[in-house]
Structure 1
Amino acid sequence: MPRTYLGIDQSYSRCAIVTYTPATARTEIERFDFSPKKSSTGPQRLAHVHWVLREYFQAQRLTGTVGAIAYEGYAYGAKFKREELGELGGVMRLALVQTWPPDLLHVVAPTSVKKYVTGSGRADKDKMLLAVYMRWKFEAPDHDSADAYTLARIAADIDRDEPPELKFQQEVIDTIRNPKPTRGKNAA
């Protein structure tokens, strides 16, 4: 059975997950609306997000074909709703580690997602949509899906023995496989 790869892009109110199967070029997009209007607020919202993602991940795991998962890490420079984003990101990570072994999970910095498809870590959302289409002919319906698709392609390349087609893509893969130690006051 061909291996599949998941790419996950979570924002404050939405989550896009792309399942990509290179052997068949099959791509599926799942989008979840986790806005407070749809998912409540506070702990009830976190419980809802966790339950929905855990159920989705469990269903994917039952297929027995997932080779790697790449999800977007935090944008540390972001100022708005950072506490809520951190809580939502933590709930998603909890659902991931409750479902799969850690060696399948790969966190990817937002700048690395952009660099992987455009060659620059500073591309805006519209440039990302266009770059995903130009590079892979994948017509993403929105920015979150474009990022999730890129993450699924990163996951596939992490799992392969051959290097990706472009040098800057290999740089991103190398950074994910060999992260630099955290620096600063709280570093051990």
Structure 2
Amino acid sequence: MPTTYLGIDQSYSGCAIVTYTPATGRAVLERFVFSPRKYGTGAARLAHVHHVLRRYFHDQRQAGTVAGIAFEGYAYGARYRREELGELGGIMRLALVQVWQPGLLSTVAPTSVKKYVTGSGRADKDKILLAVYKRWGFEAPDHDTADAYTLARIAAALDAPEPPEHAFQREVLDTVRQGKAAA
């Protein structure tokens, strides 16, 4: 079974997860929607999110092919829905560490995700969609998927024997390994 890598981009309303297999170049998108209208707010919704993600992560672990996971960290300084996003991020992290050992997990700052694919940590979302397509030929249907795909590529690159070709990508990987945010 070929080695795979997960890239996870969580948002207030859901979660995009891309499973990337370097040996085949195949990427599979899973999208989970956690609509407050459907699941409510507060603890009940968080419990539902935790249940869904933990089950998904457990199923992935049972497959035995995941060698690395990269997920988007918090956008510090963001103003909107900060607390709710923090709660959802905490639930996702809890589900991850309940299933996998911490050494497999890498937190990547949103600016580092942008920089890894575009060369700039300040690129707007449309430039990221285009850059993902130009760089890797992956046509992401939305911004969350483009971020999740980039995160899966980062997870794979962290585990690869050869460094990436571009200096800005190597800088992002070094920053992730050191646990810092890259601009």
TM-score by length of 1: 0.94
Name the structure 2 match of 1:161.
161
Letter in 2 for 1:118: T
> What's the CA shift for 1:161?
1.6
Q: How big is each residue's C-alpha offset from its partner over 1:114-162, in whole Å with a ceiling of 9 and x where there is no partner?
A: 0000000001111110000010000001100000000000000001121
In structure 2, distance between residues paired with 1:139 and 1:71:
20
2:166 and 2:25 mapped to 1: Cα distance?
19
Output the CA distance in 1 between the equivalents of 2:180 and 2:80.
Answer: 27
**Distance in 2, Cα, partners of 1:179 & 1:67:** 19
Contact persistence 2:68–2:159 (CA under 8 A)? yes
Sequence identity (%) = 75
Q: Which runs of 5+ in 2 are unaligned?
A: none
Question: Using a 3 Å threshold, how does the CA distance of structure 1 residues 149 and 180 change in structure 2: closer, same or farther?
Answer: closer
Which whole-Å CA distance do the structure 2 matches of 1:157 and 1:140 have between them? 20
User: Following superposition of structure 1 onto structure 2, how do residues 22-171 of structure 1 map, counting pairs within 5 Å?
Assistant: 22-171=22-171
In structure 2, the residue corresponding to 1:98 is in which secondary structure? helix
1:45 aligned partner, one-letter code: R
Amino acid paired to 1:177: R
Instruction: Give the aligned residue type for 2:40.
Output: S
Give the letter for the 1:128 counterpart: I
Q: Secondary structure at the match of 2:168?
A: helix
- Which residue type is aligned with residue 89 of structure 1? G
When normalised by structure 2's length, the TM-score is 0.97
Q: 1:19 deviation in Å?
A: 0.1
Conserved? CA contact 1:39–1:49, under 8 Å: no
Q: Deviations over 1:42-85 (max 9, x none)?
A: 10000000000001000100110101000000000101110100
Matched positions, count: 181
State how far apart, in whole Å, the 1-side matches of 2:180 and 2:128 are.
Answer: 26
Instruction: Report the Cα distance in structure 1 between the residues aligned to 2:19 and 2:110, rounded to whole angstroms.
Output: 19
Q: 1:44, 1:179 → 2: CA distance?
A: 32
What is the deviation of 1:180? 4.6
Stretches of 4+ moved more than 3 A in 1? none
